[in-house]
Each structure stands twice: as structure tokens, then as C-alpha cells.
Structure 1
Amino acid sequence: MGAPFVTPHALWADTPVSALRTADHLLLRLAAELALPEGTFGCTHLVRGERPRVALSFTLPSEPLQRTAEERLMALGYEVTPGVPDAVGRAVLYPGVSSLTGTLTVAQLLEHSAIDRVTVLGTRDQLAPDTLLVTRDHVRPQWLDGELVLTVMPAVGGTLVPFEVPEPTPCCADH
């Protein structure tokens, strides 16, 4: 069900945000404010350099939707650029994301979302379609070579969980 990441109907907005979690919330809030339709991809991108930050990209189903989103984002004060800042965006908004809750099989995840492939961190293992994945209601695949790929890791009881945790503990939180 996946789609090519780079399409002619993509744009990205620069933000002052430096934390992924904050960028996720901003992306979802903007998507709701813009009333973006099903079929929209919304991704975060790490921008390095003198001013590290997280940029947001939106890949929309049509040129008129792209134009409308661009106008609205600019009206909200964002600097908007056509295309995407890089080809490895981390998907926050994508077709089927709302159905990825609870525990699913790998086959269900692939069938009901835009995710093209699931890989286990650090291995080349092929996953059985009936392998259980505990989503923790936080599934953030990444674009790799034109495919939307979810990286997972082993968990309790032979299940898998997405590599990215929903609420990471800040470094040195107990110090």
C-alpha cells in the first residue's frame, strides 16, 4: 500500500522545533488545522548545521491540495519550500496509521497501512506474517530507498515492538 516518498506534490516547512516529540505534535496539529485528506504523508526530518532543528514535510495527493497547504502554512508564518528536505523522512502521518493500535500481526500491519516492509534491528531476518507486533500506539516508519520501512526489536514473549519508544526517557533523567 506504500507510495513513493518524493512526489511532485510535496512541500516542507521549516520550524524552530528541535525535539522529535514536539515536532510530532506540531505536525499532527497542523495536519488537523489544514484538514489534510486521507492519503497525505506527514514526515519529520532532522536538519543539522548551525541551527539543528526538525523540519516537517507533507506529501499530498494533488497539486491543488499542495497549493492550499502551502498558502495556509505561509499564512501561519512558516517558511515553505517545494519538495522534501531529504529522502529519509520519519513518517508520523500516513495512510492507515490510525489503525495501528494494540497488538497486530506483521501481515495486518502491512495490509492496513502504507508501510511497505518491517525489519528487525540488527538482523536480516525475514519475519513470519503471523509474528505479533505490540504497537504501543506509536508506529514511526522511515523512508528508505523509496520504501516506508518500520524497524522493530524483540520484546517479551516472542513479540516485537517498534524501535522508537513513544515517550523516551531523557538522558541523565535521574541525575
Structure 2
Amino acid sequence: MTHPDGTAGVRPVIGVDAGTVTLREADHLIHGLLDRLGLIEGVFACTHLHRDDERRGTALSLAVPDPDAVFGALRTAVPEGTGLALAGRAHGPHAAADSARRAAAAPPAAGRAVVYPGVRHLTGTVTAGTVLDRTAVERLVVLGAPAAGLPPGARILTQDHVRPEWRDGVLTLALVPAAGGLLAPFEVPDPTPCCADHP
């Protein structure tokens, strides 16, 4: 499995703290940045909550092709006051750059994935087999159920909003029972989605 953390020859991760507070704002920022930079394939983009004396909010980590070029492009693509970090380099105000550095170091130990390989396949109702075979998600867990694996044909109502989390290096999607014998992601979409065009 490809990890976004620089291990096993994988590229380093860029951290971004643009002052977003909510997950919804952070999701919107991720899609806006990736669209502006023309990045689609092979991207891991995650959110990371941070709470400290100087800053509270949601930072981002971006594992992208050619991180050096993307880091340079981000310096002009992000709002003023944004902190960026990549492999010892930093840009922006100290507190923002520091939280960006922590976000960059988080995957695959922690983080909520918004964009990841195969996410575009997760619309409507899909099977457990589709999630595991066609995306970067490696593990499915049903909250409150035994740890035994789901049958490949188990049906998942995605609501076009599938946000797995890194757990001990494994991209894991938490599911809950839904009506009609279906399963659904534990995290439900915002009642007024910010990015209706993005899964």
C-alpha cells in the first residue's frame, strides 16, 4: 500500500495551515487548492485538528506528485498568513508554519482523508469489495460489530461523502448500520455540503 509519509520511497508530505477552523472549511480548501493546482491522480489530502495555546483549527497534509514544485506553487496559491511546511522548509507566520509542520508529520499515524486514490469511485451505493479493490482504503470496520471482515458484497451507501482515517498506518473506514440492510460511513455529510461537485 502506498503511504503518504515518505516511507518506502514515497514522497514527503506538505503541511498547510490556512486558519481553517471546521472540517467543512478544510474540505473546501483542499478541493480548491487541488483544483487550482490541477492535481487529480495519486494525491492524499488529509485534515488534522490542532489545539494549542497559539492556534486552534484544522490543518492539512498533502502528499502529491512532485512536492517541491507544489510547495513553490502553494506559496502564491494560499491566502496571506498561511503556514506551509515541507521536509524542514517552512513558509508563513511562525505559529501557522509550526502547525503545518505537525500536520505534515501526522500521516499515516493520524489524519482524516478527504482525497485519496480511488475516492472518485465512491458515489452512490457501492460494495465493500469496490471500496477495498478500487481505492486506497485498506480496512473496513463496523462500529459495535465483531472484528470479522465484511463480505465483499456488503452494500455501502456512501452519500458521496467517504472520509476514512489513518489508524496505525492503515487507512480505515468506519461504518455504521443504515436503513434497508445497508451500511454507511460513520461521518455523515454536512447538511449543506460545501463541495457538491466533489466526493
Flag whether TM exceeds 0.5 (same fold).
Answer: yes
1:115 aligns with 2:116: no
Match of 1:91 in 2: 113
Give the match for residue 69 of structure 2. Answer: 68
Q: Which residue of 2 aligns with 1:3?
A: 2
Q: Runs (4+) of structure 1 moved beyond 3 Å?
A: none
Q: 1:30 aligns with which of 33, 36, 42?
A: 33
1:58 pairs with 2:57: no
Structure showing the higher helix proportion among its residues = 2
In structure 1, list runs of 5 or more residues that go unmatched. 170-175
Structure 2, unaligned runs of 5 or more = 88-103, 193-199
**What is the alpha-carbon distance in structure 2 between the residues aligned to residue 155 and residue 19 of structure 1?**
26
Relative to the length of structure 1, the TM-score reads 0.88
Q: How many residues align?
A: 165
Alignment partner, residue 93 of structure 2: none
C-alpha distance in 1 between matches for 2:51 and 2:144: 25
Q: CA RMSD in A?
A: 1.6
Write the distance in 1 (CA, Å) between the matches of 2:4 and 2:41: 15
**Mean CA deviation greater in 110-119 or 67-76:** 67-76
- Tell me if the contact between 2:13 and 2:105 (Cα under 8 Å) persists in the aligned partners: no
What percent of counterpart residues are identical?
Answer: 42
